Amino acid sequence: MADKFFLEVVTPQKAVVSEEIQSISAPGSEGEFCALKGHTTFLTSLKIGGIRYKDASGNERMLFVSGGFAEVLPDKVTILAESAERSEDIDLSRAKEAQVRAEKRLSDKAADIDLVRAEAALQRAVYRIRVAGSR
């Protein structure tokens, strides 16, 4: 049986995850990272993407995260996210609608469009759809 450690994922609105886990993989700003119990301590910013972890029973779980920070300690991983959703909480039809809206904004090429914001909206929608599809 794998050694367990603690995962806490918190947004400004609520605690999304607070449980023992066996392993975690997350989208760090310098690339994806994985951690097990006893990992070397580090701090990283997060990109938009999916967090995959194995819970204490060994079941694989997925979360969508929209930026933030992760602190990895030998016995705990803390993620402070701008937003985070469990795969089962993602409204797939809403995510698909957001993707269509973002793609339309980008294809219109209007002079007043905030290109960075539109691309980030598209990226969030795509990752939310991917994470929701993993359930």
Q: Give the mean model confidence (pLDDT) for residues 42-51.
A: 96
- Position 1 pLDDT exceeds 60: no
Contact (CB, 8 A) for 52 and 60 = yes
The whole-model pTM stands at: 0.86
Cα–Cα distance measured from residue 69 to residue 46, given in angstroms and rounded to the nearest whole number: 5
Describe the chain by its helix, strand, coil percentages, rounded to 5: 30, 45, 25
Nearest alpha-carbon partner for 19 in 77, 65, 80: 77
- The predicted pLDDT at position 135 comes to 62
- CATH 2.60.15.10 in the chain: give the residue spans: 5-87
**Residue 114 confidence (pLDDT):** 81
Q: Which residues of the chain are in CATH 1.20.5.440 domains?
A: 90-133
What's the CATH number for 90-133?
1.20.5.440
- For residue 110, what pLDDT band results from cuts at 50, 70 and 90? low
Show the beta-strand stretches assigned E in the chain.
5-10, 15-28, 31-36, 42-55, 60-73, 76-81, 84-86
Mean pLDDT of 1-29: 94
| 28/33 Cα distance (integer angstroms) | 6
Q: Find the range with the poorest average confidence among 23-32, 69-78, 93-102, 110-119.
A: 110-119
Model confidence at 134: pLDDT above 80: no
Nearest to 128, CA basis, from 51, 64, 58: 64
Q: What is the pLDDT of residues 56-103, one digit of tens each?
A: 999 999 999 999 999 999 999 999 999 999 999 999 999 999 999 988
Q: Per CATH, is 5-87 categorized as 2.60.15.10? A: yes
What confidence score (pLDDT) does residue 107 get?
Answer: 85
